[in-house]
């Protein structure tokens, strides 16, 4: 009589190694007590979701804070959903936020570490060895059902109001005689491999999740697919084999996987592997226009893609800091008490993680980034911006590299002091505000279109600008300069103080604020600009004069 072993040998004639061999090849890691081995396991399906960055960042921090290992595994067994090149682009995007693995997949041709391969499509030998073992012990079997048969089964279950799926009495091939199964395989009938569940959905199992605490879950009774017709394993099966042989200590993943946990626990049990600890992270939610909480959606929300933050140029230190505020409820309090500390010094903990979704708030991302960017040294910020602009704003990049010192001095306006200005939330905010500094941008402005104050005559504006042209003095301090502008105002019949003007508007052409505005418009082409004193200092006498001259030429 044919045995399960015969069946296993028929299906996997070339598998000559055993689970014991694999145990020896991938021994337990020699790490200190309490060190966590955590993986991030993305699928190369096109883009890095903000939720995945959140997960991977926490994976990396938790592992490192415990003195353990953070590794990346590429889960590419769903070939239908795979988008070429996206594995490598995921790695690059993670790198941009300093999520760098100690071990694992780096690109389609590179990986590091002794527990690989780290790309699932290269691990068939390992999976097949485990599946072969499950067939030998009668816990996995070939299933020959066609798509039509499964569809008919679903309809039948629906009509009978029964739980849908392939289980128990509905699992047509679970008790199929071995000889007949072998005959079908020999005849070339297509099949997949299913797990043989021993569970019963009327039973409950208890489980402790590192974040969610003690849980009661419904036992699995589904004979799930573990190996598809293309010979590759499903996620459920692959993750158990990989996390076992890569010696993961904590499986951290999104809470959308919690419902499949009973399947995973039964799989671990059936093969005789001890399961790692599980920590299910909160899903990233947002409050939509109607005030409802929903998952960040890749179709509806631009902030669902990490590429959005990279394109916009949110600084990594601002964005990471924001993600930490939604990761642990005590992060903000810690930050307020430790303003000077690096965020790596904060100790993350599972028990401070939200149980009902982490709420994503883009306005807060911007606020935190603004705050953090304001305290960057001009030199450091200039380097970051240059790096960003190289990819995302080439005209800006070209201006930066023309004269980097000039760019640094622009960024340094009202920076590197006790209360710096908080102008920029992201790198892309900078160029629109400062591009007028660059001569070709300034020259391209239509000066006839300058928005002069309509209540003041062009000849008065001209007179003020001419006077400044003749009397400007770059050696003045900010306070002296401001006094000189007041004097300029007085010389031309403008009040040197707004309050005075308000009380007696008839006696003046306008006030000192108007006078600075003429200068501001003439020099920058705009009614808003960074602090005018510094604009003048940075442009220098020649440029200031040239710009005033160009403006005067258009004022008749
Ligand atoms: N490949 C799975 C995903 O991208 C990973 C889930 C896990 O971390 O176990 O959702």
Residue among 149, 79, 163 at smallest CA distance from 121: 79
The torsion angles phi and psi of 444, rounded to 5 degrees, stand at -80, -5
- Say what the pLDDT of residue 233 is: 97
DSSP state of 109: T
Pair (213, 169) in one structural domain: yes
Atom of ligand 1 nearest to the CA of 256: 10
Question: What is the C-alpha separation between 396 and 388, in angstroms, rounded?
Answer: 10
The answer to whether residue 132 sits within a structural domain is: yes
Structural domain contains residue 9: yes
250 and 324 assigned to the same domain: no
Tell which atom from ligand 1 comes closest to the C-alpha of 253: 8
| Token pair listed for 260 | 């499949």
Ligand 1 pocket: which of 38, 41, 71 to mutate (most atoms within 8 A of CB): 41
Residue 321 and residue 382 in one domain: no
* CATH code (residue 135): 3.40.50.620
Residue at 413 is within a domain: yes
Burial class (CB in 10 A: 0-12, 13-18, 19+), 167: buried
Confidence (pLDDT) at 459: 95
Q: Where residue 312 sits, what CATH number does that domain have?
A: 1.10.1160
Which of 442, 466, 494 is the C-terminal boundary of a domain?
A: 442
In a domain, 60, yes or no: no
**What distance in angstroms lies between residue 138's CA and the mean position of ligand 1's atoms?**
28
Measure 243 CA to ligand 1 centroid, in angstroms: 12
Cα 13-226-42 angle, rounded to 5 deg: 115
Which of 52, 233, 235, 265, when mutated, tests ligand 1's pocket best, judged by the most ligand atoms within 8 Å of its CB? 235
Q: How many Å lie between the centroid of ligand 1 and the Cα of residue 53?
A: 12
Q: If you measure from the C-alpha of residue 71 to the centroid of ligand 1, how many angstroms do you get, rounded to a whole number?
A: 13
For residues 165 and 129, membership in a common domain is answered with yes
CA 41-252-108 angle, to 5 degrees, is 10
Residue 81 lies in a domain: no
The residue to mutate among 39, 40, 43, having the most atoms of ligand 1 within 8 angstroms of its beta carbon, is 43
CA of 40 to the centre of ligand 1 (A): 8
Whether ligand 1 lies within 6 angstroms of the CB of 59 is answered as: no
Asked whether 41 lines ligand 1 (CB < 6 A), one says yes
Residues 206 and 264 in one domain: yes
Residue closest via CA to ligand 1's atom 7 equals 253
Per-residue pLDDT, 531: 96
Same domain? 435 vs 510: no
249-258 core/surface letters (b: 16 or more CB in 10 A; e: else): bbbbbbbebb
Q: How far is the CA of 253 from the centre of ligand 1 (A)?
A: 7
Task: From the CA of 239, give the closest atom in ligand 1.
Answer: 9
Between the CA of 121 and the centroid of ligand 1 the distance, in Å, is: 15
Domain closes at, from 442, 469, 489: 442
Both 511 and 406 in one domain: the answer is: no
pLDDT at 208: 97
My answer on whether 409 and 308 are in the same domain is: no
99 domain residue, yes or no = no
Rounded to the nearest 10°, the torsion over CA 549, 485, 416, 308 is -50
pLDDT value, residue 79: 87
In the block, residue with structure tokens 């679970």: 174
The CA-atom distances, in angstroms, between 76 and each of 235, 248, 291 are 9, 19, 37
Q: Which atom, in ligand 1's list, is nearest to the CA of 252? A: 8
| pLDDT value for 186 | 98
Whether residue 382 sits in one domain with residue 370? no
Q: Which of 247, 281, 315 is the last residue of a domain?
A: 281
Domain enclosing residue 511, as ranges: 445-554
Does residue 476 sit within a domain?
yes
Q: What is the DSSP letter of 231?
A: S
Q: How many domains does the chain divide into?
A: 4
Residue where the block lists tokens 């960003």:
388
Angle, CA of 42, 21 and 116, to the nearest 5°? 25
What is the number of residues in the chain?
556
Residue with the smallest CA separation from ligand 1 atom 9 is 253
Per-residue pLDDT of the chain (556 residues), as tens digits, is: 899 999 999 999 999 999 999 999 999 999 999 999 999 999 999 889 999 999 999 999 999 999 999 999 999 998 888 898 999 999 999 999 999 999 999 999 999 999 999 999 999 999 999 999 999 999 999 999 999 999 999 999 999 999 999 999 999 999 999 999 999 999 999 999 999 999 999 999 999 999 999 999 999 999 999 999 999 999 999 999 999 999 999 999 999 999 999 999 999 999 999 999 999 999 999 988 888 999 998 889 999 999 999 999 999 999 999 999 999 999 999 999 998 899 999 999 999 998 877 899 999 999 999 999 999 999 999 999 999 999 999 999 999 999 999 999 999 999 989 899 999 999 999 999 999 999 999 999 999 999 999 999 999 999 999 999 999 999 999 999 999 999 999 999 999 999 999 999 999 999 999 999 999 999 999 999 999 999 999 999 999 999 999 999 999 7
Q: Is the CB of 42 under 6 A from ligand 1?
A: yes
At residue 357, the pLDDT reads: 79
Closest C-alpha residue for ligand 1 atom 8: 253
Report if residue 249 sits inside a domain: yes
Do 275 and 311 lie in one domain? The reply is no
At 279 the three-state DSSP class reads: strand
87 lines ligand 1 (CB under 6 A): no
Same domain? 234 vs 382 = no
Two tokens, residue 400: 């930066």
Q: State the distance from the centre of ligand 1 to the C-alpha of 314, rounded, in angstroms.
A: 26
Q: Does residue 130 sit in the same domain as residue 12?
A: yes
Q: Is the C-beta atom of 253 inside 6 A of ligand 1?
A: yes
């Amino acid at each position: 009589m044919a045995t399960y072993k015969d069946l296993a040998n028929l299906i996997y004639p070339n598998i000559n190694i055993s689970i014991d061999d694999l145990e020896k090849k991938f021994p337990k890691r020699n790490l200190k007590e309490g060190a966590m081995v955590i993986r991030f396991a993305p699928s190369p399906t096109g883009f890095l979701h903000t939720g995945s960055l959140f997960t991977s960042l926490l994976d990396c921090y938790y592992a490192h804070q415990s003195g353990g290992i953070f590794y990346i595994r590429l889960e590419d067994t769903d070939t239908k959903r795979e988008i070429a090149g996206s594995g490598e682009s995921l790695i690059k995007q993670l790198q941009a936020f300093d999520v760098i693995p100690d071990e694992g997949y780096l690109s389609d041709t590179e990986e590091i570490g002794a527990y690989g391969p780290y790309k699932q499509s290269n691990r068939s030998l390992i999976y097949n060895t485990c599946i072969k073992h499950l067939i030998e012990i009668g816990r996995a079997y070939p299933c020959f059902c066609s798509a039509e048969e499964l569809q008919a089964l679903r309809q039948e279950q629906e009509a009978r109001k029964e739980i849908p799926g392939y289980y128990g009495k509905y699992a047509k091939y679970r008790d199929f005689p071995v000889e007949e199964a072998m005959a079908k395989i020999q005849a070339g009938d297509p099949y997949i491999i299913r797990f043989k569940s021993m569970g019963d959905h009327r039973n409950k199992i208890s489980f402790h999740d590192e974040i969610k605490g003690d849980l009661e879950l419904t036992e699995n009774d589904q004979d799930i697919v573990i190996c598809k017709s293309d010979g590759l394993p499903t996620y459920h099966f692959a993750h158990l084999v990989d996390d076992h042989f890569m010696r993961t200590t904590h499986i951290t993943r999104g809470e959308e996987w919690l419902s499949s946990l009973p399947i995973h626990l039964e799989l671990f049990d059936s093969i005789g592997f001890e399961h790692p600890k599980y920590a299910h992270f909160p899903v990233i939610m947002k409050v939509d226009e109607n005030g409802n909480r929903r998952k960040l959606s890749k179709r509806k929300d631009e902030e669902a893609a990490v590429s959005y933050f990279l394109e916009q140029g949110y600084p990594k230190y601002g964005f990471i800091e924001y993600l930490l505020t939604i990761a642990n409820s005590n992060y903000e309090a810690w930050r307020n008490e430790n303003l000077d500390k690096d965020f790596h010094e904060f100790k993350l903990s599972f028990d401070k993680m939200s149980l009902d979704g982490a709420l994503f708030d883009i306005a807060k991302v911007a606020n935190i980034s603004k705050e953090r960017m304001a305290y960057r040294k001009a030199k450091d910020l200039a380097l970051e911006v240059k790096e960003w602009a190289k990819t995302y704003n080439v005209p800006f990049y070209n201006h930066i590299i023309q004269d980097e010192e000039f760019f640094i001095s622009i960024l340094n306006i009202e920076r590197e002091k006790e209360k710096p200005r908080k102008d920029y939330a992201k790198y892309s905010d900078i160029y629109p505000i400062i591009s007028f500094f660059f001569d070709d941008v300034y020259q391209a402005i239509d000066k006839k279109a300058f928005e002069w104050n309509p209540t003041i005559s062009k000849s008065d504006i001209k007179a003020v600008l001419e006077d400044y042209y003749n009397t400007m003095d770059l050696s003045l301090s900010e306070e002296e300069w401001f006094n000189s502008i007041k004097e300029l105002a007085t010389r031309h019949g403008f009040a040197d103080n707004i309050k005075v003007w308000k009380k007696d508007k008839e006696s003046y052409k306008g006030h000192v604020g108007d006078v600075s505005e003429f200068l501001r418009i003439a020099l920058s082409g705009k009614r808003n600009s960074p602090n005018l004193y510094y604009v003048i200092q940075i442009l220098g006498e020649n440029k200031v004069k040239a710009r005033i001259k160009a403006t005067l030429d258009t004022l008749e």
